[in-house]
């Protein structure tokens, strides 16, 4: 059994003189869902990118651990699944080609049955060979979930996970958050009440403005 943990110590982020948030500290050491809420511009996306190791905080530290051992930043991408509206996949490739290249670049085996099952779950199986540029925004959003989950990550970061999705797509995402939270640490940043309904704890960024 592998134990993963996500620790945030006194996180602060400023853009020039503008303080976005400060003093964020928490420790997630078992599977579950952490929600991040706050109004537009409160720093939800910034915080989730810092937690995913994509951006650096101005002050403070984020530590991802695997069985008590810190995961180094060069390897963190193998443990992370990330979905957001500003994530863009390669439009010139088909969904299948995109996912195949991601597996190759990560140097993991391309689990065809798992990818097909995810494509089926997100209703993209019969469009898997179409170029991504021909997809609607909702289909692109669903493909991002497959990208985030294909390597069974320990940490899943979802920034506005239901944007561009229809009701059926939203329900699939809620079911997915529920099932993934049993084995992974899931962080959801959203303003939608329904998106945060499955969270064990919600961090409201209004309280971290000093």
Partner 1 sequence: MKSYALFQKDFHSELRTRYAINSLAMFIIVAISVILFSIGNENISPGLTGGLFWVVIFFSAMSGLSRAFVSEEERGTSLTLQLIASPATVFTGKLLFNMILVFLMNIIITLLYSMLFAEFIIQNYLLFFLTFIFGNIGIAISSTLIAAIIAKAGSKGTLYPVLSFPILLPLILTSVQLTSFSIDGIPISEAVFELAIVVCYDIIMISASYMLFDFIWKD
Site track for partner 1 across 41-70, x = CB under 8 A? -----------x-xxx--------------
Among 7, 19, 31, 77, binds partner 1 (CB under 8 A): 77
What lies within 8 Å, CB to CB, of 26 at 6+ separation is: 7, 8, 34, 203
Q: Give the interface segment with partner 1, choosing from 86-94, 166-174, 181-189, 193-201 (CB under 8 A).
A: 86-94
**Nearer Cβ to partner 1, position 127 or 151?**
151
What's the CA gap between 57 and 70, in Å, rounded? 18
Q: Nearest 5°: phi and psi at 180?
A: -70, -30
Q: Number of residues in contact with partner 1, rule: CB under 8 A? A: 25
Distances (CA, A) of 107 to 86, 130, 138, 153, 186: 25, 24, 29, 14, 24
Smallest distance from partner 1 to CB 1, Å: 26
**Nearer Cβ to partner 1, position 114 or 170?**
114
**Nearer Cβ to partner 1, position 16 or 167?**
16
What beta strand segments (E) does the chain contain?
4-15, 18-28, 32-37, 59-66, 69-70, 80-83, 155-159, 185-189, 201-204
Residue 129 binds partner 1, judged by CB under 8 A: no
Structure tokens belonging to residue 14: 């400023």
**Residues at the site binding partner 1, with contacts judged by CB under 8 A:** 52, 54-56, 74-75, 77, 80, 82, 86-93, 97, 101-102, 104-107, 147
């Amino acid at each position: 059994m592998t134990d993963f943990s996500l620790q945030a110590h006194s996180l602060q982020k400023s853009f020039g003189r503008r303080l976005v948030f400060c003093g964020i500290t928490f420790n997630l050491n078992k599977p579950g869902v952490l929600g991040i809420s706050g109004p537009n511009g409160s720093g939800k996306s910034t915080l989730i990118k810092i937690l995913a190791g994509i951006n650096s905080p101005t002050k403070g530290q984020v530590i991802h651990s695997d069985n008590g051992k810190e995961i180094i930043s060069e390897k963190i991408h193998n443990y992370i699944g990330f979905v957001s509206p500003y994530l863009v996949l390669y439009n010139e490739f088909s969904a299948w080609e995109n996912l195949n290249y991601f597996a190759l670049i990560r140097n993991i085996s391309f689990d065809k049955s798992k990818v097909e099952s995810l494509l089926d779950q997100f209703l993209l199986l019969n469009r898997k060979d179409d170029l991504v540029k021909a997809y609607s925004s909702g289909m692109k959003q669903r493909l991002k979930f497959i990208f985030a989950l294909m390597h069974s990550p320990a940490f899943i970061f979802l920034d506005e996970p239901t944007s561009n999705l229809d009701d059926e797509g939203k329900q699939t995402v809620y079911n997915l958050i529920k099932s993934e939270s049993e084995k992974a640490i899931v962080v959801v940043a959203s303003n939608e009440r329904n998106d945060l309904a499955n969270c064990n704890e919600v961090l409201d960024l209004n309280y971290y403005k000093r």
